[in-house]
Structure 1
Amino acid sequence: MSVKNYQKFYQPLNAVHSADFNRCIYCGCEAARQDFIPPIKFIHDWQDGHLQADFISVPACNECTDLLKNENNATLEPRITVLKKRLAEKYKKAIRVFNHWSMEEIEEMDAAFQISLKGGMRLGKETLSRLQFAGFDYEVNGSITRVAKPQREVFKVFDEEFSSFREALAFASATYKIKKSRLSQLYFDNDESFDRAIEAFHGLVEGNP
């Protein structure tokens, strides 16, 4: 299926501000190609007009385009949601390394292990930045859409507040003497609450149900 034969059905999405030119709409990395919404390979599913479809082409990086190539989404927002889930799953090990290790801890390891962990730290940090990317103001066929800035996420450990999961995990682990890996698991098992995770840990240690 030739892309050129179908491009005429799509309106280009363009960034409003020059700082966002050539930026991937999904993750903020440098754009390398256009992602078509709905994908050209599925265009015949949407052309009859009975279902809502954007019919736009958006700037995207190679990785995001590849991760979405088999997703039959016809509007932008569901496509963004799927992409974030795919990225998080693909790099979950790197994210775990970034959240669970500090540079001080890594420096105590042998050289080979340091190289591996530092690589994981860099990749995990980059992935979290891509996952947190909220998009940019854009224009399609003369109509401008403003993208709201994301609200600052706050992670609480009882009365303490932190701007990142990593910082909150490090504090809670050191303060309440719980291994980061165990505390992280309990956090997600207890409605993403550090308070409940810590209480659950002490309940298990003390033999309470």
Structure 2
Amino acid sequence: MNACSNAHFHQCFYCGCIATELDYAPPKKYAKEYQLSEDDGDFYAVPSCFECVTLLSGCQAAYVTLRRDKLKALLAKKYQQALHVYNVWQEDELALLDDNLAGSIAAGLKLGKESLERVDFIGFSYEVGGDVHHVLPAAKIQINIDQYTFSSTKAALEYANKTYRIPKATLIDLLEIYQDDYNQAIYRFGQMQLEKEHDKTLKKRCTEFAKLHKQNVKFVIRTVEHFLKEDEEMSIETALCKLQQRI
């Protein structure tokens, strides 16, 4: 493979770094098997960087684009922590941290940005044996929250954090559970906050009730929770009144 543009000479097709090696599609050790079985494959020598060649050492894919897509997943996994730092932190927040932590976060932001650029790199147009091949641009990311559309995870997390006061790390955990559905994740966070407030109010009122009526706090909480479970429409105050009638 030879890059069609001077701008891409000596550039890794997979991630955009400096190419110092060659990757093979299919890998050399599987080439004869593909030829004997008459399976399709590109049979290209691909300009690559050392890290991409290393990461793809166990990949058997015979097509350049499939190897590229596999590499994206491997890079994202390898630099998951740095990507997390890049998505969660903003540079203007570093001034609020002590020097050691600020230095660590700054390094994570830099590595995360570089990693994201490598993951997002789609390759370049190339020539093989006189035939020119064009690489189609990847579909742009579109994240819909409320009536807004965001083109990056970082921007979407920032909006949700400021609008709904959701810690970014918590939202990332929720997105993993709800398969990157931001609206569902935001709704669940709201439910969690209501549940937390309910538990706080329940503990406070049951403690006050127990002290006033000289009852064991754990007994009061357990009984009130039982009443609330029996009747989901019942309020904490109604449950306490019901308990008072029984003691």
TM norm structure 1: 0.88
Q: Does 1:69 align with 2:57?
A: yes
- How many Å apart are 1:161 and its aligned residue? 2.2
AA in 1 matched with 2:52 = C
Bigger RCO (CA 8 Å, 6+ sep): 1
Q: Does 1:114 align with 2:99?
A: no
**Post-superposition CA distance 1:37-64 (Å, at most 9, x none):** 1112333332314222221101001110
Q: Does 1:96 align with 2:84?
A: yes
Give the Cα–Cα distance (whole angstroms) in 1 for the partners of residues 154 and 23 of structure 2.
33
Give the Cα–Cα distance (whole angstroms) in 2 for the partners of residues 113 and 182 of structure 1.
20
Partner of 2:180: 192
- How many Å apart are 1:94 and its aligned residue? 0.2
Give the Cα–Cα distance (whole angstroms) in 2 for the partners of residues 45 and 70 of structure 1.
16
Partner of 1:153: 141
**Post-superposition CA distance 1:7-46 (Å, at most 9, x none):** xxxxxx1111111111111111111111111112333332
Partner of 1:24: 12
Give the Cα–Cα distance (whole angstroms) in 2 for the partners of residues 135 and 149 of structure 1.
9
Which of 174, 180, 204 is the aligned partner of 2:192?
204
Query: Which is worse superposed, 122-131 or 32-41?
Result: 32-41
**Post-superposition CA distance 1:112-148 (Å, at most 9, x none):** 1111111111111111111111111111111111112
CA RMSD of aligned residues (A): 1.6
Q: Does 1:80 align with 2:57?
A: no
Partner of 1:45: 33
Q: What fraction of aligned residue pairs are identical, expressed as a percent?
A: 35
Give the Cα–Cα distance (whole angstroms) in 2 for the partners of residues 149 and 37 of structure 1.
21
Give the Cα–Cα distance (whole angstroms) in 2 for the partners of residues 55 and 151 of structure 1.
27
Give the Cα–Cα distance (whole angstroms) in 1 for the partners of residues 136 and 61 of structure 2.
22
More helix per residue: 1 or 2? Answer: 2
- Unaligned segments of structure 2, at least 5 residues: 199-247
AA in 1 matched with 2:84 = R
Give the Cα–Cα distance (whole angstroms) in 2 for the partners of residues 87 and 43 of structure 1.
25
AA in 2 matched with 1:196 = Q
- How many Å apart are 1:180 and its aligned residue? 0.7
TM norm structure 2: 0.75
Give the paired residue count: 196
Which of 94, 116, 127 is the aligned partner of 1:139?
127
Which of 1 and 2 has greater Rg? 2
SS in 2 for 1:144: strand
SS in 1 for 2:35: coil
Change (3 A) 1:49 1:143: farther
AA in 2 matched with 1:37 = A
Partner of 1:7: none
- How many Å apart are 1:190 and its aligned residue? 1.6
AA in 1 matched with 2:182 = F
